Amino acid sequence: MVTEKIDQFAATLPAEKRRSVYESTKATHEKRTKVLFDHFPDPNRLRLIAGEIKQHVIENLDTYLPAVEAKLQSHGVIVHWAATAEAANEAVLGIMRARGATKMVKAKTMVSEEIELEPFLKKHGIEALETDLGEFIVQIDHDHPSHIVRPIIHKSRREIATSFEREGLGAYNDDPGTITRRAREFLRQKYLQADVGLTGANFVSAESGRIVLVTNEGNSRFCLAATKCHIALVGIEKILPRDRDLALLLNLLARSATAQQLTVYTEFISGPKAASQPDGPEEMHVIFVDNGRTDVLASECRDILRCIRCGACLNVCPIYRQASGHAYRSVYPGPVGAVLSPLLAGEKFPDKVDLVKASSLCGACNEVCPVNIPIPDLLLRLRDKAKREGAPSCGTPPMGAWALLASQPTAWKAALFGGKVMNYLPLNLLPIPAAQAWLKTRTLPAWRGGEFRRWLKNRTR
């Protein structure tokens, strides 16, 4: 049986890695559930409201985006629009060049991963250093994040200690406190040397033009405190209508992501430093990134644009827990990635189409989603799209003959009777890939086709 790529990846994943991904996602999921249900009488109602707010935004982006642009400009922010990843990278480069800048410090942003900013800048002689501890470790290892919120969920502290030793960050020591302290000492110098600080944005309020950033390490504050220029890379779907909507979304985001009531740092940024303020960036740019989002908006899967990148669907997902994030070969792994990555792939949709099959459609992702994205429905829509567009994936047996059989009762009843031959055949030896894949780890019950119908016909009451 040709099994799906993600299953093959899971089969070769070292047991230790699988265990650590499984245990930490399970623990986070359980804490998330406890915190939400301890703190709110009906967290499900909150998820539905938050989902409606975000859906409202994405369905009215044509009015919200110009409004946000005007608001930001009125605060002295320079707004850029990037239709593609290339345009977003060029915009960043243009800002750096105009300032003669060569050093950037970065807070964690998934959009920068999506547009592959760091390798692009490196090619142009610009150092873009990750300051989130997890992302920093990913960077020094030339690795990729395997989780939206916890990029190094796949790494053990032994591996990290080895990497630190290799990079000249002290003798081998796998104590997490020591690792953190050493990273901090190294990064503090880098903040002071950098010209530009780059962040993402968790939310942008259309009402006030405030950009909202949540972090636990405070690194985004250092990025902005030490540099003269702030660039925020923002997906066009990050807008919220009103400041008061933040009360709901911030409460849900922290609890869903890390089971915290609130992240350690929540920053509200209205623009560059005012004349009356003692410090802060003198120049601020917001780059709104499309990179395929308007195509998603035009599709039947637009609901995925509600996503606030909390990672709760990854944590609860049995497939993610078994396969880990790298199995998805995408910036966005897990259930949200299985929907978003094929959509953002555009013409390369067939390369990522196997991701939409990587689900038993169990619906746990929808149940935990703070914005109630119907992920299983979206996966199903994409499976239908893949079939219609002839995108190959080995996980779909042909269904035409079955449908014919199941819409002709006489043929169906004959097949129920004829199926009894299965009881006399060595199924495990027959060249039927699906049967072999099933029988390798499970038994099959005896075929009793038509027995119920016979009982019903013959019974006397």
Q: Please, which of residues 370-429 interact with other proteins by CB under 8 A? A: 372, 374, 377, 380-384, 386-387, 394-400, 402-407, 409, 412, 416, 419
User: Which segment (147-155, 256-264, 286-294, 350-358) binds other proteins by CB under 8 A?
Assistant: 350-358
Measured from the CB atom, the residue of 76 and 395 that comes closer to other proteins is: 395
Report the nearest approach of other proteins to the CB of residue 18 (Å): 8
| Contact residue for other proteins among 31, 367, 414, 427 (CB under 8 A) | 367
The pair of three-digit structure tokens given for residue 149, joined into one six-digit string: 């919120």
Report the nearest approach of other proteins to the CB of residue 260 (Å): 21
Report the nearest approach of other proteins to the CB of residue 419 (Å): 6
Q: Provide the edge-to-edge strand list for the sheet that holds 265-269.
A: 239-240, 203-205, 211-215, 265-269
Is residue 434 close enough to count as binding other proteins by CB under 8 A?
Answer: yes
Contact partners, residue 222, CB within 8 Å, separation at least 6:
105, 131, 187, 188, 191
Candidates 51, 123, 67; CA nearest to 305 is 51
Is residue 142 close enough to count as binding other proteins by CB under 8 A?
Answer: no
Candidates 369, 368, 333; CA nearest to 352 is 333
Sign of the dihedral through C-alpha 94, 97, 98, 102: positive
Measured from the CB atom, the residue of 142 and 461 that comes closer to other proteins is: 461
Measured from the CB atom, the residue of 22 and 265 that comes closer to other proteins is: 22
Is residue 351 close enough to count as binding other proteins by CB under 8 A?
Answer: no
Is residue 275 close enough to count as binding other proteins by CB under 8 A?
Answer: no
d(C-alpha 182, C-alpha 178), whole Å: 6
Contact partners, residue 256, CB within 8 Å, separation at least 6:
32, 36, 310, 311, 312, 368, 369, 370
Is residue 243 close enough to count as binding other proteins by CB under 8 A?
Answer: no
Is residue 276 close enough to count as binding other proteins by CB under 8 A?
Answer: no
Report the nearest approach of other proteins to the CB of residue 390 (Å): 12
User: Which segment (186-194, 224-232, 275-283, 444-452) binds other proteins by CB under 8 A?
Assistant: 444-452
Beta-strand ranges (E) seen in 275-369 are 283-289
Is residue 59 close enough to count as binding other proteins by CB under 8 A?
Answer: no
- Give DSSP secondary structure letters for 318-333: HHHHHH-GGGG-SSS-
Report the nearest approach of other proteins to the CB of residue 434 (Å): 4
Beta bridge partners of 286: 79, 232
| Contact residue for other proteins among 70, 98, 425, 444 (CB under 8 A) | 444
Count interface residues toward other proteins (CB under 8 A).
72
Report the nearest approach of other proteins to the CB of residue 357 (Å): 6
Is residue 350 close enough to count as binding other proteins by CB under 8 A?
Answer: no
Candidates 126, 436, 147; CA nearest to 315 is 147
* Residue 5-44 contact track with other proteins, rule CB under 8 A, x = bound: -xxx-xx--------------x------------------
Is residue 453 close enough to count as binding other proteins by CB under 8 A?
Answer: yes
Measured from the CB atom, the residue of 39 and 387 that comes closer to other proteins is: 387
319-349 b/e (C-beta count within 10 Å ≥ 16 → b) = bbbbbbbbbbbbbbbbbbbbbbbbbbbeeeb
The pair of three-digit structure tokens given for residue 327, joined into one six-digit string: 């199995």
Measured from the CB atom, the residue of 186 and 447 that comes closer to other proteins is: 447
Report the nearest approach of other proteins to the CB of residue 435 (Å): 8
The interaxial angle of helices 133-140 and 157-166, nearest 10 deg, is 60
| Contact residue for other proteins among 40, 81, 186, 447 (CB under 8 A) | 447
CA 361-295-288 angle, 5° bins: 110
Report the nearest approach of other proteins to the CB of residue 353 (Å): 9
| Contact residue for other proteins among 189, 276, 443, 458 (CB under 8 A) | 443
The pair of three-digit structure tokens given for residue 429, joined into one six-digit string: 């030896």
Q: Side chain identity at 458, as an amino acid letter? A: N
| Contact residue for other proteins among 152, 231, 364, 375 (CB under 8 A) | 364
Measured from the CB atom, the residue of 284 and 391 that comes closer to other proteins is: 391
The answer to whether 117 and 87 are in contact (CB under 8 A) is: no
d(C-alpha 21, C-alpha 146), whole Å: 10
Measured from the CB atom, the residue of 318 and 346 that comes closer to other proteins is: 318
Is residue 322 close enough to count as binding other proteins by CB under 8 A?
Answer: yes
User: Which segment (59-67, 187-195, 302-310, 441-449) binds other proteins by CB under 8 A?
Assistant: 441-449
Measured from the CB atom, the residue of 55 and 322 that comes closer to other proteins is: 322
Report the nearest approach of other proteins to the CB of residue 54 (Å): 16
Is residue 83 close enough to count as binding other proteins by CB under 8 A?
Answer: no
Contact partners, residue 442, CB within 8 Å, separation at least 6:
none
d(C-alpha 44, C-alpha 14), whole Å: 37
User: Which segment (58-66, 196-204, 260-268, 433-441) binds other proteins by CB under 8 A?
Assistant: 433-441
Beta strand 283-289 with 78-82: parallel, antiparallel or unpaired? parallel
